[in-house]
Amino acid sequence: MSEQPVQILVGNLVATTMMLSAKEMGAYMLLLVAAHQNGGYLPTEDERLRQVARLPKDEFSATWGVLGRYFEEDGGFLWSIHLREWNIAARLVGRRPLSIAVREFVLRRDGHRCAYCGATTGPFHIDHVLSVARGGSDDPTNLTVACKPCNLSKGAKTVEEWLQ
């Protein structure tokens, strides 16, 4: 089972599935979750797909006739077109945004004050002390509060480089 969260591009999902009925959308979401848990793939057997989608036998064929266009066959398995697009987008973007909980933790820990200039009025960013581009992580020990001007000015530089 995959431990990585899936990044859902909501605009893309809505734009391509808005014609689905509630039942079809529910079945599709169950299929997406199962595909994600199985590395992006689903079995090709109708009975297995029907069980995953939790559809009655008499409704599966018609529903799969609609949902099947969201999957491609690849090496005896089905691959979700949306998961493939989202995985590509996630690689292009490079990283997922910090969670709200991590952002709030860092803001509280640092007293809602810019670590670089001491500003107490925002807008605030959460800055990677050692940038991700230079190997820094999203661990809270590598995060600090920065006002927007300081964060944008610092960019991917180390603090030492930026202060020179």
Residues of the chain with CATH 1.10.30.50: 100-163
Domain with CATH 1.10.10 in the chain: 10-93
Question: Does the structure show a pLDDT above 80 at 148?
Answer: yes
pTM value surpassing 0.85? no
pLDDT value for 97:
72
Residue 118: pLDDT over 70: yes
For residues 151-159, give the mean pLDDT.
86
Q: How many CB atoms lie within 10 A of CB 78?
A: 20
What does CATH list as the number for 100-163? 1.10.30.50
Q: How far apart are CA 93 and CA 40, in angstroms?
A: 19
Nearest CA-CA partner of 1 in 39, 52, 43, 53 = 39
Fold of the domain spanning 10-93 = Arc Repressor Mutant, subunit A (1.10.10)
